[in-house]
Structure 1
Amino acid sequence: MRPLTLILLLAASGPASAGVRSQTLVVADDVADPATLDPQKQFVEKNHTLLQQIFEGLVRFDAEGRLEPGLATSWRWEDDRTLEMDLRRGVVFHDGEPFDAEAVRFSVERYLDPGTGFPAAAFLSSVERVEIAGPHRVRVRMRFPDGILLNRLAAFVLIAPPKRFAREGEQGFAAHPVGTGPFRFVSWEKGREITLEANPGYWAADYPRVKRLVFRFLPPKRQVAELLAGNVDIVTELPGTDTLGVMRSGVAKVVKKLSFYTVGGSINISTGPLSDLRVRRALNHAIDKEELIRYDLLGNGRPIATMSMPGEIGHDPGLRPYAFDLAKARRLLAEAGYPRGVDLTAIIKYQTERSANILVKQLARAGIRVKIHKSPDATLSADIQKGSWDFTFGGCPDPFAHSFFVQSIFLHSESPFSIMRNPEYDRRLVRMISKLDPVEQQAAGMELDRYVHEQALAPFTYQKIRTYGVRKSIRFTPPVTGMPYFYDAGPDSHEKTGR
C-alpha cells in the first residue's frame, strides 16, 4: 500500500438510459481487501478510491485536478483564518438521514480528534474547528492562514452521518458504511470483492450510469486475464508489459493519463558528501531520465525538472530538467574532492525497487556508488528516521493537485519521510501556502520551485503516465490524481455490451 494518495473526478457525460442502469461495472483496483471502510481511519490511495464512491467531500477535483463544488456549493474567505461554506440542500445519506452542517462539523472534528487515529491528521493541522452558521452553512476556523485549505479538504475529508454513527458505533459503521455518494454499500465478501449499488436518490441527475459497481481484488496478472476474459471492465494499474496484449486483444483498450505521481526522495544536506551542492548536482546530472522512463515505465512518463509537475499549483514551467551529462557529473565530483567517485547509502520503498535498481546503475557510471536498504510501507518512516542515510528514494502521488504535497513529504524538516533539515526551505514552503490570493500563491510556489532546482534538493526523475485497461464497450475518463470516481463510467452509447 502507498500513501495516499487520494481523490476525485467529475467528468461530463450524457444521460443514462434504462439499459445502461442495468449494467454491472467490475473494477480491479487493488490486490487485497481494504484496511477499513471507515473514512476517518484511512490514508491509503486504493482504500480512499473505494470509499469516495460511497462518501463525498465538501469540494473535489475534476479530471484535470481543478477544484469544484461537492457537498459545498460555494465558499468565501471572511478573513485570513475563516472560510465560510454554503452546503448543498436537499441531500440525504443512504439511510435517509439529512445532510447538514452538523454532519460537516461531526466529520471534520472526528478527523481532527487524536483518538480517531486518522493517519494523515498532520495535513489537516491548519484546521482548528468547524462552527455551524446555519442548517446549511459552516465556518471553518483555522490556526493560521492557509491558502491550500480547499486542497486539503478535497484530498482527505469525506462526510459521514452523525446520528447513524452514534447508533452503530465505530465497528458497526465500518461494517456497513453510509454516505451521500453515488453508490451505496451492499456487501463485502472478504478476500474477493465489495459490491455497491446505485444510489437512487443521488443529487446529481442521471448519475451514476450503472446499477452496480463491484471492486474485485485480484493479483496483477489475474486482473489482466480477467479483463481479457470479459469478467472485469476496468483495470486501474495496467502493467506496461501487458499494454500491447490488451491493445491487440479486440476486447479491451488501453487508456492513458498523465498523472500527479513522481519518484523522488529526500537528501541529507547537513552531513556527508551530499551536503556539498556540487555532489547533489552531480547526482542529478548522472540520472538518465529518458532511460529511467523507458525501462521503469516502458515509456509511460515524462522527465521533470524538480518534484513539481505540470498542472500542479506552484509548478514553474520555465525550469528545464538537469541534463544527463556523465562528464559534467564526474567533473563536479572531482571539484568537490571525490576524483575517484563517492560512496552513498540510500533507503528505498519496496514498491520502487525496480526504479531504484535502474537509478543505482546509472549513478555508478558517474562514480556514485550507492548501497540501498529496502523498507516496506509499514515501517518506512521509522526506518528513515532511525537510520543514517545519504538520501531516500520512493514513489509519491499528489492528492492535493498542488506542488506542496510531494515537496512537504520529501523535503520538510518535520515530515517523517524527510531526512533534510533546511530552515530556509521550510520558511519558503510556509510562505507559499500562507498566500490566500491564487496569483500570489502561484508566484511564491514558482519561487520555491526554482530554489529546489538550483539547490538540487532531491533526485529529480519523471512524471508518470498511468495506464488503464478498459473493456472496449466501456466509457471511462481517468483523473490526473490517479484516484477515479466511477459514477460517470459505464457503457459507451456507441458500443454494445454483453452484461
Structure 2
Amino acid sequence: MTIGRRLLGQSLAATAGGLALPGLIGGPAQAQRGTDTLRIVFRDAVPNIDPYFNSLRIGLIIGHQYMDGLVHRDPETFRIVPALASEWNWVNTTTLDFTLRRGVKFHDGSDFSADDVVYTVNTVSNPETRVATPSNYAWMDRAEKTGDHAVRLHLKRPTPAALDYLALVTPIWPKAYRERVGGDGFARAPVGTGPYRVTKVEVSASVEYERFDGYYQGGPKGRPAIRRLLVRYIPDAATELTELLGQRTDWIWNMNPDQIDNVNRLPYLQSLQQESMRIGYLSLDAAGRSGAGNPMTNLKVRQAVWHAIDRQQMADRLVRGGSRVPIAPCYPSQFGCNADAAVRYDYNPAKARQLLAEAGFANGFDIELTSYVQPRQWSEAVQSYLQAVGIRARLNLMQVAAQIQRAWRGELAMSMGSWGSYSINDVSAILPNFFDGGNDDYARDPELQRLLLEGGSTADEEARKRAYDAAIRRITEQAYWVPLHTYVNTYAYQKQLDFKAYPDELPRFYLAKWK
C-alpha cells in the first residue's frame, strides 16, 4: 500500500461507537421548532459581516440572508431575475440602465432609492475603499442617478458576467444609515433589504436574525417560514459535530465525509452531499514574495510539486461524493475554463524526484505549508505526498482569516486553500483574483496579467476564449498554482428541518422550513 493510500484510508477519531453516546440516541429530537429558531454552526468566524469586507464564503452566506442586490440569480435555473431592480436594459456593451422597484424599505424603515444604489456602486468600485475582493468590482466605472427610481451603470469595459456579479456580490447599502454610523458601525449593526434582519452581532462569535415582515412584495427570496436564525462559530470539527449530536444545533456543513454513515444511523439526523463550484488549490510562490531563496521560484520545483500529488486519489478517497480533478485552474463549467488549453501533469513521484534533483535539490528541502483546509486529513495528504518525494513540508494549520492576512502580506511560500468564485460561472471570477497583480497573486507575471485583462475587456466570446486559453496554458506551463479537486459539500442537519442544497454553495435559510 502506498503512503498516499495509507493516509487516505484514515478517518476522524470519532467512530460509530463514539457517536452512540448515552442520551444522544432514542430520545425525541430537540430541534428548535418550538421556538421557531434555526440554530446554525459554521467553523470559520467572520470578523466583519459586511460582505464587502470579507472574502469568506461564510461571509457571503451571512450577507445573503439580510441583503439584496439589484438582481437575483435563481438557484434552480441560474437565470437572472428582478430584485431591487424591476427592469434593466443594455444601452450598449458598457452601459446598463436599471428601473428600481418602488415601495422597498430597509430594515431601519427608510425608503430604498436610486441614491442608495449610486452610493454603493461608487463606493465599492473606488480602489480607496479597499474591499476584500477588488476584482469583483474592477469592471465598474460609476453609477449615476437618472431619476428617483432609475440608475445608469457605466462599465470600464464590456463585462459579459456583469449581471451575475450584481446578483451575487453587489448587495445595496442604505446610504443615509451607513454614512451616519460609518463602516465599523454598519458591521456591528448592519441594515439591508433582505428577508431577514440582523438583530445582534457578537464579533467572531455569533449573529442573530429575525424575519423581516416588511420584505418587499414580489421579492425573489420570499417570506421566510422560520422566524429566527442563530448563527454561531465553532472553530473545530469535533466540537461542531458534538453540538449536532447533542442537539444543541440544527445544521452544520463540510463535515468530514467519513461521518456520513454514522450520522445517518441516528434517528433524528440526516446528511447529504452536493458538489459545488469551489475548488481546492495549492498556491506556489513563484514570484519570491516570501523570500528570494524560496525553492518555489524554480520552475522545476513547481513542476515537481504537480507530479508529487495524487489528486485523483484525494478526490476519490478523501473528498468523495463525485469530486473531480480540474485539469485547468478553474471550475470546469465556467466560461473560458478550457481543459484542452492546459498542460497536464500526471501523478509521477519518480518524475518529481528527478525534477528536484535537476533543480539542485537532490536531497530535498524544508518548507512551510500553511493551510486552513478542513478536514485536516486533506492537508495531511498533501503533506504526505510532498514528503514522499523529498519536500519536507511543515504543516501549519491556521484559521482562514489569519492565513488570508499572511497571504496578503506576501509571507506564504506554499499555501493550501479553496476558492468558490462567488458561484459566478465565468473564469473572470477566479483567474484575476490569483493572477492580476493583487494580494493573492504569487506569480506576478506581466504577460499573464495582460492576457487576463484582454479576456476581461471584450464581449466577443471568441476573443475571450483565445485570451483565457493562452492564460490557462501559461499558468499550467509555469506550474504557478495547482488545482487539487472540486469540493463536495457535506451537510448534516435535524430531520425535522426541510432544507435543500444547491450547487452554487449558497445555503438559503430563508427557503428552509420545519416539517
Which category of TM-score, normalised to the shorter sequence, fits these structures? 0.7 to 0.9
Deviation of 1:264 after TM superposition, in Å, equals 1.7
Q: Does 1:422 align with 2:437?
A: no
Matches within 5 A, 1:130-209: 130-165=143-178, 173-188=186-201, 191=205, 193-204=207-218, 207-209=222-224
Match of 2:307 in 1: 285
Contact 2:45 2:233 in 1 (8 A): no
Deviation of 1:38 after TM superposition, in Å, equals 4.2
Contact 1:256 1:465 in 2 (8 A): yes
Which of residues 337, 360, 377 is equivalent to 1:315?
337
Deviation of 1:176 after TM superposition, in Å, equals 4.0
Contact 2:80 2:164 in 1 (8 A): no
Q: Distance in 2 between matches of 1:127 and 1:311?
A: 25
Contact 1:476 1:488 in 2 (8 A): yes
CA distances 1:41-72 after superposition (whole Å, capped 9, x unpaired): 44433233122211111234443793523323
Q: Does 1:264 align with 2:281?
A: yes
Contact 1:260 1:482 in 2 (8 A): yes
Match of 2:80 in 1: 68
Instruction: Give the structure-2-normalised TM-score.
Output: 0.78
Q: Does 1:349 align with 2:349?
A: no
Match of 1:46 in 2: 58
Letter of the aligned partner of 1:291 in structure 2? Q
Match of 1:9 in 2: none
Q: Distance in 2 between matches of 1:394 and 1:376?
A: 11
CA distances 1:309-349 after superposition (whole Å, capped 9, x unpaired): 12222222546963212233344445x35583543634423
Q: Structure 1 residues 183-192 or 212-221, which shifts more? A: 183-192
Matches within 5 A, 1:346-425: 346-351=368-373, 354-371=377-394, 377-378=400-401, 380=403, 383-384=406-407, 391-399=414-422, 400-412=424-436, 414-425=437-448
Where structure 1 has 5 or more consecutive residues not aligned to the other structure, the ranges are: 1-20, 492-496
Which of residues 140, 144, 148 is equivalent to 1:127?
140
Instruction: Give the structure-1-normalised TM-score.
Output: 0.80
Deviation of 1:279 after TM superposition, in Å, equals 4.0
Relative to structure 1, the CA distance from residue 151 to residue 473 in structure 2 (aligned partners, 3 Å threshold; closer, same or farther) is same
Contact 2:105 2:214 in 1 (8 A): no
Relative to structure 1, the CA distance from residue 299 to residue 22 in structure 2 (aligned partners, 3 Å threshold; closer, same or farther) is closer
Q: Distance in 1 between matches of 2:215 and 2:400?
A: 39
Contact 1:147 1:434 in 2 (8 A): no
Which of residues 213, 221, 245 is equivalent to 2:228?
213
Aligned length: 470
Match of 1:250 in 2: 267
Q: Does 1:105 align with 2:127?
A: no
Contact 2:70 2:166 in 1 (8 A): yes
Relative to structure 1, the CA distance from residue 38 to residue 79 in structure 2 (aligned partners, 3 Å threshold; closer, same or farther) is same
Match of 1:224 in 2: 241
Contact 2:244 2:252 in 1 (8 A): yes
Match of 1:474 in 2: 497
3-state SS of 2:259 partner: helix
Relative to structure 1, the CA distance from residue 457 to residue 320 in structure 2 (aligned partners, 3 Å threshold; closer, same or farther) is closer
Relative to structure 1, the CA distance from residue 65 to residue 450 in structure 2 (aligned partners, 3 Å threshold; closer, same or farther) is farther
Contact 1:346 1:393 in 2 (8 A): no
CA distances 1:196-220 after superposition (whole Å, capped 9, x unpaired): 2143543337923414131231534
Q: Structure 1 residues 165-174 or 465-474, which shifts more? A: 165-174
3-state SS of 1:459 partner: strand
Which of residues 309, 319, 322 is equivalent to 1:297?
319
Contact 1:109 1:130 in 2 (8 A): yes
Q: Distance in 2 between matches of 1:146 and 1:424?
A: 21
Q: Distance in 1 between matches of 2:44 and 2:302?
A: 39
Contact 2:279 2:487 in 1 (8 A): yes
3-state SS of 2:270 partner: strand
Relative to structure 1, the CA distance from residue 25 to residue 420 in structure 2 (aligned partners, 3 Å threshold; closer, same or farther) is same
Which of residues 328, 336, 340 is equivalent to 1:306?
328
Relative to structure 1, the CA distance from residue 50 to residue 65 in structure 2 (aligned partners, 3 Å threshold; closer, same or farther) is farther
Q: Distance in 1 between matches of 2:152 and 2:366?
A: 50
Match of 1:328 in 2: 351
Deviation of 1:382 after TM superposition, in Å, equals 6.0
Relative to structure 1, the CA distance from residue 340 to residue 224 in structure 2 (aligned partners, 3 Å threshold; closer, same or farther) is closer
Deviation of 1:361 after TM superposition, in Å, equals 1.8
Relative to structure 1, the CA distance from residue 264 to residue 168 in structure 2 (aligned partners, 3 Å threshold; closer, same or farther) is closer
Relative to structure 1, the CA distance from residue 470 to residue 314 in structure 2 (aligned partners, 3 Å threshold; closer, same or farther) is farther
Where structure 2 has 5 or more consecutive residues not aligned to the other structure, the ranges are: 1-32, 289-293
Contact 2:225 2:512 in 1 (8 A): yes
Deviation of 1:422 after TM superposition, in Å, equals 1.5
Contact 1:41 1:116 in 2 (8 A): no
Match of 2:95 in 1: 82
Q: Distance in 2 between matches of 1:282 and 1:158?
A: 43
Match of 2:47 in 1: 35
Letter of the aligned partner of 2:279 in structure 1? T
Contact 1:314 1:449 in 2 (8 A): no
3-state SS of 1:216 partner: strand
Deviation of 1:147 after TM superposition, in Å, equals 3.9
Q: Distance in 2 between matches of 1:359 and 1:32?
A: 22
Q: Distance in 1 between matches of 2:492 and 2:332?
A: 24
